[in-house]
A and B are shown apart, each in its own frame.
Chain A
Amino acid sequence: MADTLIKIDSLVKRYGELIALDHLALEIKQGEVFGLLGPNGSGKTTTINCLLSLLSYDKGTIKIFGKDMSPTAYDIKRDIGVIMQNVAVYDELTVQENIDYFCGLYITDKTQRGQYVEDAIKFVGLEDFRKFRPKKLSGGLLRRLNIACGIAHKPKLIILDEPTVAVDPQSRNKILEGIEELNRNGATIIYTSHYMEEVEQICTRIAIMDKGKKIAEGTKEELTAMIKNTETIKVTLHELPDAVLSEISALPHVYSTDFTDETLTVSCSGGKHNLIRVLEVLQNHDMHIGRVTTEQPTLNDVFLEITGKALRDKEE
């Protein structure tokens, strides 16, 4: 079993009357890509800031690499790379100078630092932009520079706080591939996001947060197994008599049906061959069947079922 890299116990953080973190407990193993998923304001960034000892907290303990984390725990900080939500680079320095500067906060040996800076530039694909100032870079390239500044010193633990916010799909894929590569190279990753697709794609284990609490934790499969819904069937129909809808509702493993805007939605819990049974009923009544889809539950369904609300607003 892998070593525990981070252990957070009963962490409480208050802002006046507001409880930002409510007895949060997390354990992150070496080699994991650990996802912190939750809507805006759920406490993800506060957790990261407490973990990094930037924020004071009211109660709880935080251990990293088996040692208590504190602002002066420089031996711990040496092995951590941080990529913040907001891009943190100097506008007046070039791409190469920025990476060299931030790497220099960790690595004093000039020769080694030079090599690390080169590696980081290649890793994020900014070879052609090394003399560019940040203002000349596109949003996606700027995010890549931000990541390079955080990982140039080759840390064992990398914390990425919503690194793909406001990034185009191409750059987003590049960033996600890069994170997976860092993990393959041995780094443990903590990844916070409110984009469930990203978390589903790269994280080996996920904690879902809401209102400062961890509401669920596990692999994607473990999380989806926690909820009642295991399959959602959607069939497009011109019309659906109430009698037919009642017959479908009575099928085994079906716990919810709905017919709105010419679309029949059937939610199933467990069982096999649910789709075949639904289609059989429709054919028996000579219904004209249009498009048929079946969906496995997502983390959004998990969140929806546990909290009664969606992870993200529709416009996000």
Chain B
Amino acid sequence: MFFNELKYFILSALREKRMIFWLMIFPMLLGTLFKLTMSDLSDKQFKFKAIPTAVVEESDNSIFHDVVKQVSEGDDALLNVTFTDKEKAEKLLNDGEVEGIITSADTISLTVSGSDIEETVLKSFTDRYLTQEKLMKDAAKKDPAKLPAMIEAMSADLDVLKEEPVTKGSNDRYLTYFYNLLAMVAACSSVTGLSVVTRNEADQSALGARKCCSPTPKLISTLAVMLGCWAVSAVCMLISVTFLTFVLKVDFGDNVALVYAAGILGSIMGSSMGFMIASLVRGSYEKKNTVAMIVSLGGNFLSGLMIADIKPVIMEKAPMLNTFNPAAVICDCLYYLNIDSDLSRYSGKMVQMLVMAVAFTLIGFVFTRRRKYASI
């Protein structure tokens, strides 16, 4: 009886178009949309090319010359320098061939034609050079042998784009949207959890009434459908993580296996939440479904699916809400997995998800244990 119930639940759930759309197709579409939008943003904001710059040397400043050469070399060069005279430099600037002109005369001056990020970087470069130039000149007078090393150190200091990894994981700031996407898949698994009640309760559907007339004990039927819900949700999550990781090439960090584990546990928690909601909310399937969607998508909103900056606000204003919001728990779990060098915080969130899943399931069982109905 148990396996008959389990087999046909999984079969019917995997054929249910609405469920497949929300738990498989929609996350793929949204993930693809995120990827297209965010890879464009990432390219614009974070992958700087060396800034084309004209340098006009009207005086013999060897320190400046060496520093400029230093920051113009290598794969991660800050500047793409053209040494030229003033007239040609101005023509290059007017033609848009360079972003600015740095003139080395009695002092160092900068000429730019706009105020984009490239111009800001050039301004920052020249300002910091001027700050450190005097110190270097004094030091050079005392110990000229140390000058090359000092120039190199100064170049490194001026290379404002050089990355300093603080974690072993991915630094993509937009990764939080993909965490939220997985949290959404998990939270939307609550739709599957509704089936536990609607398919088994005589006052919910004709199917439920027919099943209640059969000699299959309700506990067995409920357990089988619950297990089926977990299995279907887990499969949907596996597909979503696989699609994001291997098709869209979203960088979830080094340990993808643990991303799968967090996702699957999250989806189990989500479907258990649906079971609990369906057992607590009295009324039609539509009513239960509405409440489940509000809770799921509301949780996703508060954890930053639609607006990434909302989560810090919730953490500050209502930390308890963040602690027990299932979507936020999944996001945090994935975030900790990515940024932490050890798994302690990740493990803590995994345990929390497990506890919440068990609690949701138990509450669901308690509120569906009645066997006769006052009305059908």
Contacts and interface: CB of A to CB of B under 8 A. Distances in A.
Nearest to B13: A92
Interface in B355-376: 371-376
A275 interface: no
Nearest to A113: B4
Contacts of B374: 15, 55-56
A54 B212 contact: yes
A87 interface: yes
Interface in A84-108: 84, 86-90, 92-93, 97, 100-102, 104-106, 108
Interface in B195-251: 202, 205-207, 209-218
Contacts of A149: 210
Contacts of B218: 71
Interface in B1-47: 1, 4-5, 8, 11-13, 15-16
B214 A77 contact: yes
A90 B376 contact: no
Interface in B70-113: none
A53 interface: yes
Nearest to B4: A104
A97 B5 CA distance: 12
A106 B214 contact: yes
A97 B14 CA distance: 14
B314 to A, nearest CB: 39
A86 B206 contact: yes
Nearest to B218: A71
A80 interface: yes
Contacts of A53: 371-372
Interface in A106-120: 106, 108
Given A55-B372, A55-B374, A82-B210, A75 B215 contact: yes
Contacts of A86: 206
A78 interface: yes
Contacts of B217: 72, 74
Contact of A93 (B1, B12, B202, B376): B12
Contact of B209 (A54, A74, A105): A54
A86 B210 CA distance: 10
A97 B15 CA distance: 13
Nearest to A78: B215
B211 to A, nearest CB: 7
A297 B202 CA distance: 40
B210 A92 contact: no
Contact of A54 (B5, B8, B213, B215): B213
Contact of B205 (A15, A49, A88, A150): A88
Given A55-B376, A93-B8, 9 more contacts: A53-B372, A54-B202, A54-B373, A56-B372, A77-B215, A84-B206, A90-B12, A90-B207, A105-B4
Interface of A: 15, 49, 52-56, 71-72, 74-75, 77-78, 80, 82, 84, 86-90, 92-93, 97, 100-102, 104-106, 108, 149-150
